[in-house]
Amino acid sequence: MSSAVSLQQASHTGHDVDHGHEHHQSFISKYIFSQDHKTIAKQFLITGIIWAIIGGLFSVLFRLQLGFPDTTFPFLEDLLGHWAKGGKISPEFYYALVTMHGTILVFFVLTAGLSGTFANFLIPLQIGARDMASPLLNMLSYWFFFLASVIMMSSLFTQTGPASGGWTIYPPLSALGDASMGSKIGMDLWLMAMAMFIISSLLGGLNYITTILNMRTKGMSMTRLPLTIWALFFTAVLGVLSFPVLFSGVILLLFDRHLGTSFFLSDIVVAGKILPNEGGSAILFQHLFWFLGHPEVYIIILPTMGIASEVMSINARKPIFGYMAMVASLFAICILAFLVWAHHMFVTGMNPFVGSVFVLLTLLIAVPSAIKVFNWLTTLWRGNIRFTPGMLFSIGFVSMFISGGLTGIFLGNSALDIHLHDTYFNIAHFHIVMGVAGMFGMFAGIYHWFPKMFGRYLNNTLAYIHFWVTMVGAYFIFWPMYYEGLAGMPRRYYDYANWESFKMFGGLNEFISVVAIIVFATQLLFVVNFFYSIWKGRKVTTLNPWNANTLEWTTPIKPGHGNWVGEIPEVHRWPYDYSKDGQDFIPQDVPVGENETRH
């Protein structure tokens, strides 16, 4: 706190001298402990990409087991040692892989990697601020995330392996050290890492909220904010109010593990021995977890909704359709996201009457979601579309959001969910609507803002290959899972070939695994493109390569700390004046003309 105020003063005086031009900073303060929001954004992005590669690799490993349960792969033993004796992944390690895949992708990639990157990068640039409200806390936010990453990573190298109770860490697997291999030190490290992660996301979120409220430039009223900023704002609100509840759950779980309490444990028999724990409830943990868990899925999807809106409006050369409706539906989603958590728990033994209220609230989310989809489609309608890679990924995002979101309505009916819960139907639902749509939104953002981040372009040919293979591949991977789930194939089984009733899915599982490997390889193409282009990509030579309206394109091609040379521009209009009054685009800092039509 103390440093926050003094720093703010320092940065306010400092900014005026430090417009853009290089001054002599050591490597450490410029690239490592940097307080420049743009550098912090890149740190989040690159850490996120590293995590995405690891998490993706894990999925390839367990897809090998799922697709080829009877085949051995000797190279796995070389790679994984005792976890894959004889070239076959052990059941314990299979569960560890699934758990870490979920944890990494949900929290480390699509939360920190996504919000961390785009909130940090876009908020000050698009609202017209020199930096975040508190650059120091912002830097700490990254370093807490880094700490969380190190702890989580170290759990991969423990003797008993990382956590293996699923990304939702339900007790008793997570509460009893003896319950499974992954319930030992791996689980403790998971909980510690998550505690650090929550602190990081809190520091970040508080900063995003206050920056958007307090630091907007003159004229940047709330209704002139780009939709990215609105989306990031609600994302931060979701995070700030729901992560603490998981924090409580984590603390209670640590108590259960190490201090002899029974918050989540009762009447448990392990190997014929009755444990002394009584009076707790495993369902209580699920309530606490999903109170975060459901908002969490919107923490993932809201930023990508913002990115897609922005990118689609720019590349359709049309104002976004229904700006206020978009903001209102973001708001509605934000509120509803807090009220529906128990739709993940219909079959746990929860009070069925309360469950029916949750059904009602859950189905309500379909309304704002549908409004958004309608508005994206109408934005494209009769637009002058430029199919840039960012645009393609945004359109792909909408497609995925529709085909994954619609099945949420099936799942939201508790009667149907009795059949569908914990089947591959659920897996397909959330991978399409959150996993793939989230990644698509993130890719759209990266392709779109890469020129601003690094002053160079990504390679377009590689980008198109990346898009088409991923788009088609993602549907090939996840669409069949709907059918598997409807036919009753449960999730989290190690070896489907062991069950007579699931043998018939063998061929399909094999097909999915092959496509998954291809799609994973294509992502590596993106990674190569990314790192190659940072240093060797085609240089950006114009200030505003996409002819966009928002303020970030009024900064120098490679803005320094402080973003603008000279005064911060004033804002006179909303960011969506495309194809207006015979002009292709009118940036936000252009004053309103005398006889200009009003939107």
Partner 1 sequence: MSTTAIPTGTKWWNGGRSPFNASYGKVMMWYFLMSDAFTFGAFLISYGTLRFSENYWVDPNHVFSAFPFAEGMNLPLSFVSLMTFILIFSSVTMVLAVHEGHKMNRKAVEKYIFWTIIGGLAFLSCQAWEWTHLLTHQHEVWINGINGAAGHVELWNTTVSHNPFGPEVTINGHQYATPGPVAFGSYFFEITGFHGFHVFSGVIINLIMYIKTKMGHFDQRGHYEMVEKAGLYWHFVDLVWVFVFLCFYLI
Partner 2 sequence: MSQHTISPEITFAPDHLGGTKRIWKTFYLLSILTIFELAIGLTIYNIHKGAHPNASLVLAFKGLVCILTLAKAFYIVSVFMHLGDEIRNMIMTIVVPLALFIWFVIAFLSDGNSWKNLRNTDAGSKPDTHLVAPAAKEPGQKD
Alpha helix positions (H), 171-260: 185-214, 227-258
Separation in Å, CA 75 to CA 81, 87, 261: 10, 7, 44
By CB under 6 A, is residue 430 in contact with ligand HEM? yes
303 binding ligand HEM? (CB under 6 A): no
CB of 203 to partner 1, least distance (A): 9
CB-based burial of residue 24 (10 Å sphere; 0-12 exposed, 13-18 middle, 19+ buried)?
Answer: exposed
Binding flag, residue 354, partner 1 (CB under 8 A): no
Backbone angles phi, psi at 275, to 5 degrees: -80, 150
In the complex, the smallest distance separating the C-beta of residue 490 from partner 2, rounded to whole angstroms, is 24
Binding site for partner 2 (CB under 8 A): 5, 8-9, 12, 214-215, 237, 241, 281, 283-284, 287, 291, 338-339, 342, 349-351, 353-354, 357-358
Taking the complex as a whole, the smallest distance from the CB of residue 52 to partner 2 amounts, in Å, to: 32
- Select the residue interacting with partner 1 from 32, 213, 543, 592 (CB under 8 A): 213
Q: Does 244 bind partner 1 (CB under 8 A)?
A: yes
| 351 interface partner picked from partner 2, partner 1, ligand HEM, none, CB below 5 to 8 A per type | partner 2
Closest by CA position to 318, among listed 386, 271, 406, 261? 386
Among the residue ranges 64-72, 296-304, 472-480, 506-514, the one whose residues contact ligand HEM (CB under 6 A): 296-304
101 touches Cu ion (CB under 5 A): no
Give the x-and-dash track for 264-303 against partner 1 (CB under 8 A).
----------x-xxxxxx--x--xx--x------------
Q: Are strands 273-274 and 269-270 parallel, antiparallel or unpaired?
A: antiparallel
The single residue among 211, 309, 423, 426 that binds partner 1, judged by CB under 8 A, is: 211
294 forms part of the interface with Cu ion (CB under 5 A): yes
CB-CB contact of 519 with 52 (8 Å): no
Smallest distance from ligand HEM to CB 362, Å? 5
Query: Quick one: 151 or 245, whose CB is closer to partner 2?
Result: 245
Cβ–Cβ under 8 Å, residues 11 and 131: yes
Q: Is 133 in the site for partner 1 (CB under 8 A)?
A: yes
User: How many Cβ atoms sit within 10 Å of the Cβ of residue 8?
Assistant: 15
CA 421 to CA 271: how far, in whole Å? 28
CB of 271 to partner 1, least distance (A): 18
Q: Taking the CB of residue 560, how many other CB atoms lie within 10 A of it? A: 17
Cβ density class 399-418: b for 16+ within 10 Å, e for less: bbbbbbbbbbebbbebeebe
CB nearer to partner 2: give 356 or 384: 356
Judged by CB, which is closer to ligand HEM: 119, or 314? 119
Question: Site map for ligand HEM, 395-414, x if CB under 6 A?
Answer: ----------x--xx-xx--
CB of 351 to partner 2, least distance (A): 3
Which of partner 1, ligand HEM, Cu ion, none does residue 408 bind (CB under 5 to 8 Å by kind)?
ligand HEM
Instruction: Give the β-pairing of 583-585 and 269-270.
Output: unpaired
Q: How far apart are CA 308 and CA 329, in angstroms?
A: 15
Site for ligand HEM contains 287 (CB under 6 A)? no
**In this structure, are residues 300 and 106 in contact, taking their beta carbons and an 8 Å threshold?**
yes
* Torsion sign, CA atoms 71, 72, 75, 76: positive
**Of the residues 43, 426, 509, 513, which one makes contact with ligand HEM according to CB under 6 A:** 426
Which secondary structure element, helix H or strand E, spans residue 528, and what is its range? helix 506-536
Encoded one letter per residue, x for contact with Cu ion by CB under 5 A and - for no contact, window 241-280 reads: ----------------------------------------
369 binds, among Cu ion, partner 1, ligand HEM, none (CB under 5 to 8 A by kind): ligand HEM
409: partner contacted, choices partner 2, ligand HEM, Cu ion, none (Cβ within 5-8 A by kind): ligand HEM
Instruction: Give the whole-angstrom CA distance, residue 19 versus residue 14.
Output: 9
Binds 418: which of partner 1, partner 2, ligand HEM, none (CB < 5-8 Å by kind): none
In whole angstroms, what is the distance from residue 352 CA to residue 374 CA? 34
219: left (phi over 0), alpha (psi -120 to 50) or beta: left
CB of 288 to ligand HEM, least distance (A): 15
Distance (Å, whole) CA 44 – CA 579: 35
Distance CA(264)–CA(521), nearest Å, equals: 42
Q: Report d(CA 414, CA 432) in Å as an integer.
A: 21
Binding site for partner 1 (CB under 8 A): 1-2, 4-6, 8, 127-128, 133-134, 137, 202, 206-207, 209-211, 213-222, 224, 240-245, 247-249, 251-252, 255, 259-263, 274, 276-281, 284, 287-288, 291, 571
Interface residues with Cu ion (CB under 5 A)? 294
